[in-house]
Every structure is written in structure tokens, then in C-alpha cells.
């Protein structure tokens, strides 16, 4: 899709589209390996996140933060509500002490992104997905 076509879409539609591409990229990035348990699957895997969005609906700072989002299996992501105890331990292991506080602070960041930001995310994720599929 050409960049000009994206501008015709409402912000909420662009957000959903960007989120879909971002989630697909995260699952590929993590090689379909659940972040909180040893499960690896060629079946349905989800983009799990540690800090859930704020009260404004579209919380870009967290929704598109690669440190906040990782691949998750159905059991951990849906049944265990993200398996957050293990998720927190893994975040600190991978990103260092203070990552949880940093992500929590982003939840309340007031600046909102515009169409250009979302279009850039869509194009970037499409390119990353293409690269991951090529190297598979």
C-alpha cells in the first residue's frame, strides 16, 4: 500500500493496522518461543505485553515498545493473564534493573503519536517481517 493511501485512513484504523503488523513482527522476532515458559509452537502464538495500556485507549508508547512486548503462548498470555511474575523476572534479566519502572512511567506519557508515526511503524514492521521470513 502506498504511503498516501494510509493518510486517508482514520487514526484509529491506522493504529489497529500498525498494531497487527507489530504483533506479527514480535512473534517472528522471538522465533515463536513463549517469553514466560519453554513452549515453542508453529500454531497460534500471541504478542504478550507486560504493562497494559493506560486509560486513553491508544497508548503508543507501550503498545509499540519492543521491550514491553514478547511472544506468548495461549496458556501464559490468556489463561495466566500474561504470567506476569515470570515476565517481570525475564524483563529484569534481559533489560536490567529498573526496566519495570521505566515501562510503567511510559504508561502515563501524555504525547500522542500521529499518522506519520503509525505509518512509519507499519512500513518498518512490514520490512522486518519480510526479512524474518526470508531468513527462515
Count of domains observed in the chain: 1
Q: Does some domain include residue 89? A: yes
Supply the pLDDT for residue 54. 53
What pTM does this model have?
Answer: 0.91
59: left (phi over 0), alpha (psi -120 to 50) or beta: beta
135 within domain boundaries = no
116 in any annotated domain: yes
Phi, psi of 15 (to 5 degrees): -60, -50
- Domain ranges, residue 62: 3-130
Reported as a single tens digit per residue, the pLDDT across 54-83 is 555 556 788 899 999 999 999 999 999 999
136 part of a folded domain: no
Q: Is residue 119 part of a domain?
A: yes
Q: Would you say residue 83 lies in a domain? A: yes
In a domain, 57, yes or no: yes
Q: How far apart are alpha carbons 17 and 75 in whole angstroms?
A: 25
Tell me, yes or no, whether 108 lies in a domain.
Answer: yes
Cα(26)–Cα(5) distance, rounded to whole angstroms? 25
Percent of the chain with pLDDT over 90: 69
Amino acid at each position: 500500500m502506498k504511503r498516501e493511501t494510509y493518510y486517508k485512513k482514520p487514526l484509529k484504523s491506522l493504529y489497529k493496522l500498525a498494531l497487527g503488523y507489530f504483533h506479527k513482527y514480535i512473534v517472528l522476532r522471538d522465533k515463536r518461543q513463549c517469553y514466560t515458559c519453554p513452549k515453542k509452537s508453529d500454531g497460534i502464538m500471541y504478542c504478550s505485553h507486560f504493562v497494559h495500556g493506560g486509560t486513553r485507549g491508544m497508548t503508543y508508547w507501550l503498545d509499540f515498545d519492543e521491550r514491553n512486548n514478547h511472544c506468548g503462548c495461549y496458556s501464559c498470555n490468556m489463561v495466566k493473564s500474561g504470567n506476569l511474575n515470570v515476565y517481570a523476572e525475564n524483563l529484569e534479566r534481559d533489560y536490567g534493573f529498573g526496566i519495570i519502572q521505566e515501562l510503567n512511567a511510559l504508561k502515563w506519557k501524555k504525547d500522542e503519536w500521529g499518522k506519520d508515526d503509525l505509518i512509519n511503524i507499519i512500513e518498518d514492521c512490514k520490512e522486518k517481517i519480510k526479512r524474518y521470513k526470508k531468513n527462515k
